[in-house]
Amino acid sequence: MGIVARQATLNTLLAYFGIGLGFVNVVLLYPRVLAAEEFGLTRLLVSIATIAAQVAQLGAENNCRSAPSCFCIRWYSCSARWHWCST
């Protein structure tokens, strides 16, 4: 359990560091560097990119299984269906 506890602690610290970095960027740095319109535009672009990434994932797994050659190098056939290779 020592390895798991160490990894959990490291993950927690990195998550808090990321939250702190985001706070510094959004609350302290952006308002001083960007105008209100520019700051709003950055928030809008991030929101649009997040929604577009989620929409792009719809059906992606099914597409990868039917045509794996465009996404992975090695694949194998099992029960007449294409599956991902683990190695």
Q: Are 43 and 27 in contact (CB under 8 A)?
A: no
Q: Which tens digit of pLDDT belongs to each residue from 8-26?
A: 999 999 999 999 999 999 8
Q: What is the rounded average pLDDT for all residues in the chain?
A: 80
Q: DSSP for 18-52? A: HHHHHHIIIIIIHHHHS-HHHHHHHHHHHHHHHHH
Domain total of the chain: 1
Give the range of the structural domain holding residue 37, as residue numbers without chain letter. 2-84
pTM over 0.75: no
